[in-house]
Structure 1
């Protein structure tokens, strides 16, 4: 008979968040219910409410954890040529979206109507695009108002490209998608005054 290990409240909350993120990868936010989570974790709904307050608190905590995971997994290498670093980051982004498609899609779509999701989405997108700008010569772009506008538009393009491709590859290979992602920003930079 296996003995049970008693977790501290912080450890239990982290365990529940990890499980929530795993469920978020396969389900939309609407399907990420307290009931489904409690059943999956083998706990009561009351315990979940104890840790997260309510359904919205649980959902926000899971989405924030997933966004943090996205940022961590897509961090470009700290050394190398800017385009190589961008290619690594875009490959990791595609990997992450493939692994977490349902949840990510619902976050992107839900951000249009839910202020909390919008806040998480905007913070994550800003963190992702701010990586393009660095203060020395290793950056891909100088940090100007025009460059920031361009990178925001490119980020929207990259997001739509990846989500559309994951939903229906239409005969386009994975390597081709990565090349489109990494090659499109330098192409746009070429038209920046």
Structure 2
């Protein structure tokens, strides 16, 4: 239903849940055009056709609004990169990485801004990033037994290191793609078995560092 406010502007009446989701979606769209810290509450309110005060009815502060934008993107990324359980383990891993690379490539500036921008040092943002990484680590580790790899504490730690490796190399590749997309995916796919096999191998089976 649309109502007309005192300025003559039509405003669609939404439920609280729908309005909150609309505001977050507008923030996500704006993030494709500018860094997170430059997303203006006034601009969001104008686009939504609501008052600035109404926006703060749904979010305690501009900072809280920004955190919810990042949380939304993190959830979306996890959903879009969910493993295809019908595939064999390596094909499943490749499919997840293909989806991940495609997702962040389509949102290059957004991805780099989130992980390397001013918000990356904020404790609340960091908590969202850590929750996302933990979810990625847990679901990756859950499929390792299919490769005959026992998920020990060392293996779990190795998977976490692999996630950090993929994040860091993805940002570098997005900034300066010195290898092709397929070569990059091959690198990321091949790195996981190499890391977890070493982490899960008996000490006697690991070549001595010289």
Q: Same fold (TM over 0.5)?
A: yes
With 101-110 and 71-80 compared, the bigger mean Cα shift is at: 101-110
Structure 1 counterpart of 2:61, from 42, 54, 66: 54
Q: Which runs of 5+ in 1 are unaligned?
A: none
Structure 1 counterpart of 2:140, from 124, 132, 140: 132
- Partners of 2:112 and 2:160 lie apart in 1 by 18
- Partners of 1:139 and 1:151 lie apart in 2 by 14
Correspondence for 1:44: 51
The structure showing larger relative contact order (alpha-carbon pairs under 8 Å, at least 6 residues apart) is 1
Contact 2:70 2:128 in 1 (8 A): yes
Contact 2:112 2:171 in 1 (8 A): yes
| TM-score for both structures, normalised by structure 2 | 0.81
Correspondence for 1:24: 31
| TM-score for both structures, normalised by structure 1 | 0.88
Correspondence for 1:176: 183
Shift of 1:8: 1.1
- Show the 5 A alignment for 1:1-193: 5-109=12-116, 110=118, 112-134=120-142, 137-138=145-146, 141-170=149-178, 172-192=179-199, 193=201
The 4+ residue runs of structure 1 with deviation greater than 6 A are none
Shift of 1:4: 6.4
- Partners of 1:34 and 1:141 lie apart in 2 by 49
After superposition, what is the alpha-carbon deviation per residue over 1:52-90, rounded to whole angstroms, capped at 9, x for unaligned? 121011111111111110110111112221111110111
Shift of 1:6: 2.2
Instruction: Please identify the structure whose Cα radius of gyration is greater.
Output: 2
After superposition, what is the alpha-carbon deviation per residue over 1:137-183, rounded to whole angstroms, capped at 9, x for unaligned? 4367422111011111111110011111111113x111111111111
Shift of 1:111: 5.9
Q: Which runs of 5+ in 2 are unaligned?
A: 3-9, 202-210
Query: How many aligned positions are there?
Result: 191
- Partners of 2:144 and 2:77 lie apart in 1 by 25
